[in-house]
Structure 1
């Protein structure tokens, strides 16, 4: 295949680069920032996309963040590329704090017992694993004689997914608005500076061309 990697990466290297990309997270963040500032759209449209991408990062719809961000951004008439890039606000370094904040907010809003113990991320991870195992077992049971048991998925929905979904709304909106109001002036300044640089470069080229034309005219 044309696009197949020549050097096949081992599983451990793929996992390592997922949690720590090549060049580090600082380089990855710098790349995203430059890509956002170079998008050919007005600052407010780009900022809308950033708002949606950050907001979606606070939802429990893992694996669907791109689709959800693109759909909401299209409805809000924002920049879809900016939204997709902004979903990287949710990454292996921020998933745990985002999950803890969203869950505790959800428990508070729903009047449930707060889960503020130190090992919340361990419990959360275990429930994700249990729910996945439950789903896999039930899919196998659908094509065999095994009994279907949705108890762990029900527990996951009641104690994780639903509180996470409800609780992520407020912190997601707050984080999205902060990023929106920070990004508008920054993108405006960058675009104006870039326009100024392009105009100066164009003026320099015109001046150089004019000098070449005048020199040729004197020779003739």
Structure 2
């Protein structure tokens, strides 16, 4: 096979590669950026899609981020592929910060208190019983309420950053292609 590995990857290498890319997180970020910039949709559609993915990353519903991002992107005429790529903002490195910020803001909005003034969560007990009702009030509800304004803020920021980057990328590409000398076409006669 043409693109097959020379030696089969060990189980440990596969697990490590899932959590820590072989080449680096910076290379993965560059790859995702180039994938977004090379989408052929209108700048608004790509930027709205990325913004929808960023917004979905701030909600605590893991496993549903792609679906949420697509549902948010559709009414804004956002690109669905860009919305899926935008969910990469929520990753194992950023999730602890996102969750802490959304939980703190949600508790502040709902209860008017900072997280230090509230009773500690018994997360282990609620997870061992897998009772969503026990998780909703102390954890998921504040994270959702805090995630909406934070997600909206970062979605707006990413919308304008993505749109500006996409317009600049396409303008540079247009100038570069215009500067290339054209080969004369051969006539068949």
Fold conserved between structures, TM > 0.5: yes
Identify the range of structure 1 (12-21 vs 166-175) with the bigger mean alpha-carbon deviation: 12-21
Tell me the equivalent position of 1:68.
68
* Structure 1 position 7 matched with structure 2 position 2: no
Does the C-alpha gap of structure 1 residues 172 and 133 become closer, same or farther in structure 2, counting only changes over 3 Å?
Answer: same
- TM-score, length-scaled by structure 1: 0.73
How far the C-alpha of 1:132 sits from its partner, in A, is 4.4
Query: Cα RMSD between the aligned structures?
Result: 2.7
1:15 shift after superposition = 3.7
Match of 1:20 in 2: 20
Mapped to 1, the partners of 2:99 and 2:147 lie a distance apart of 8
CA–CA separation in structure 1 for the residues paired with 2:184 and 2:176: 18
Residues 106, 147 of structure 2: 8 Å contact kept: yes
Q: CA deviation at 1:8?
A: 5.5
Matched residue, 2:29: 29
Q: Deviations over 1:141-163 (max 9, x none)?
A: xxxxxxxxx4xx43321111111
Corresponding residue number in structure 2 for 1:134: 129
Q: Which residue of 2 aligns with 1:42?
A: 42
Aligned length: 182
The structure richer in helix per residue is 1
Label 1:28 to 1:183 Cα distance change in 2 as closer, same or farther (>3 A). same
Larger Rg: 1
Structure 2 residue ranges without an equivalent (≥5): none
Shift of 1:181: 1.2
Q: Does 1:77 align with 2:59?
A: no
1:14–1:113 Cα change, 3 Å: farther
| 2:156 equivalent in structure 1 | 177
Contact kept? 1:107, 1:113, Cα under 8 Å: yes
Does the aligned pair in 1 maintain the 2:56–2:151 contact within 8 Å? yes
Matched residue SS, 2:105? helix
Unaligned runs of 5+ in 1: 118-122, 136-149
How far apart are 1:52 and its partner, in Å? Answer: 0.6
